Amino acid sequence: MELRRRSQSESAQASSQAISASSALFHGLQDGEIHALLDVATRADYPSQSWVYRQGDPARHFFLLESGLIQLRLLTAQGQDILIRFVKSGEVFGYLTLSLAGSNTESAQVIQPSRLVVWERDIALQLLQTIPKAAINLFNIAARDSVYFYDRSRRLLTQDVGRRVEFALSELVRTIGISTPDGIVIAHGIGQRELAELAGTTIFTVSRELTKLQRQGILEKQRGRIVVLQLEKLSAW
């Protein structure tokens, strides 16, 4: 039994390390360069509902999610707590600390038990100078995220609420959706509140729009989860 536990643990660790190595941060890097980056990092495990960092805390690290699920949240000047986006396995976050010394601009909370690869700011900056390709990859990741936030802002300003809810639903499918024989399942306790925050509307409006989509056969609302049946019919997909 002990040998089996160890084997399962080693298998899970190998799997999570493979996810790290396939991250966009390491795209096009030589094996030696990937090892150099990982060798100066530490790994940390976080339980569900814990905080990796909070908005306003000193920004001293940036992170790669090896396994689990993280949400980034922003507390506005008006006191609104808003979901920015989810971080899935293989993605990096907190990278603004590398260019903007100061405080964290958002909070990072663990949704599922997570293992993180963690780099201290000064060490990472020194190493990125010696591996330009990794720096370019990080720039591309930041540019991609900027395009996402621009597109999201544009939708909030120009689209009707129905299309915004469909966009938010597509985003949840992309980041946390689980493919099953019955459809793509959005679970993990994530549902109408998160859709409302991503779509810039109320939970009541989200419920109304999901009911419309259910009548069209696009999705099915179930207890504690949403099952997307016809992804191609979402206007934002």
**Prediction pTM value:** 0.82
Predicted pLDDT at 69? 94
3-state SS string over the chain?
A: CHHHHHHHHHHHHHHHHHHHHCCHHHCCCCHHHHHHHHHCCEEEEECCCCEEECCCCECCEEEEEEEEEEEEEEECCCCCEEEEEEECCCCEECHHHHCCCCECCCEEEEEEEEEEEEEEHHHHHHHHHHCHHHHHHHHHHHHHHHHHHHHHHHHHHHCCHHHHHHHHHHHHHHHHCEEECCEEEECCCCCHHHHHHHHCCCHHHHHHHHHHHHHCCCEEEECCEEEECCHHHCCCC
Please name each of the domains of the chain with its CATH number: 2-150 (2.60.120.10), 159-233 (1.10.10.10)
Predicted pLDDT at 20? 60
Render each residue's pLDDT in the chain as its tens digit; 237 residues.
Answer: 443 434 444 544 554 456 666 799 999 999 999 999 999 999 999 999 999 999 999 999 999 999 999 999 999 888 888 899 999 999 999 998 888 778 899 999 999 999 999 999 999 999 999 999 999 999 999 999 999 999 989 988 999 999 999 999 998 998 889 999 989 999 877 888 899 999 999 999 999 999 999 999 999 988 888 999 998 888 655
